[in-house]
Amino acid sequence: MAETCDVTKLFLLCSIIFVSASFASAEVNWLTDFDAAKAKAKSDHKLVLLDFTGSDWCGYCKRMQAEIFSKPEFQDYAAKNLVLVELDFPRAKPQSDAVKKQNMKLASEYEIEGFPTLIVLNPEGKRVANFFGYIEGGPDAIIAALEKLRKS
């Protein structure tokens, strides 16, 4: 009987930890469909953050992912205020022809010359900012810059 009680307590404790962890930071969803992202931004009244990246080969892109985008502070902010779009140019990761074509078109349209490059669009799809290269200062720096744009 005591063993059953201990197992039940352990199960409840694990359940609480799991549920708490899932609420610890908002789930961030990077879209790959630019048109869907623009429509979502317009309906949700959010900025669009376009991340032009070479996710599997670009050192600074990997660093931005590890030091900014993966952090709970950024993820919480993004979930509330941004529609995130990854426009990836991988060397080894598989990618559909439609995504490759879309990403090439957007790289040309936004005159992307290197990675990482972030483009910010307002909810109507108009470009309001560019960030070229790695952003120093972690999540706080990019959040501060985005917050200025959001409030202007």
Please state the φ and ψ torsions of residue 59, each to the nearest 5 degrees.
-60, -45
Strand partners, 88: 53
pTM listed for this prediction = 0.83
pLDDT at position 28 is 82
Higher model confidence: residue 22 or residue 57? 57
Q: Quick one: average pLDDT of 5-25?
A: 44
Give the pLDDT band (50/70/90) at residue 152: confident
Q: What is the mean pLDDT of residues 126-145?
A: 96
Round the average pLDDT of the chain to a whole number and report it: 88
- Return the DSSP state at 89: -
* The pairing of beta strand 47-53 with beta strand 117-121: antiparallel
Write down all domains in the chain, each with its CATH number in brackets: 26-151 (3.40.30.10)
In contact, 93 and 107? CB cutoff 8 Å: no
Given strand 117-121, what is the order of strands in its sheet?
30-31, 82-88, 47-53, 117-121, 127-132
The more confident residue out of 6 and 29 is 29
* Range with lowest mean pLDDT among 1-5, 64-68, 76-80, 100-104: 1-5
- Helix then strand count (H, E) for the chain reads 6, 5
Q: What mean pLDDT comes out for the span 70-86?
A: 97
Q: For residue 150, what pLDDT band results from cuts at 50, 70 and 90?
A: confident
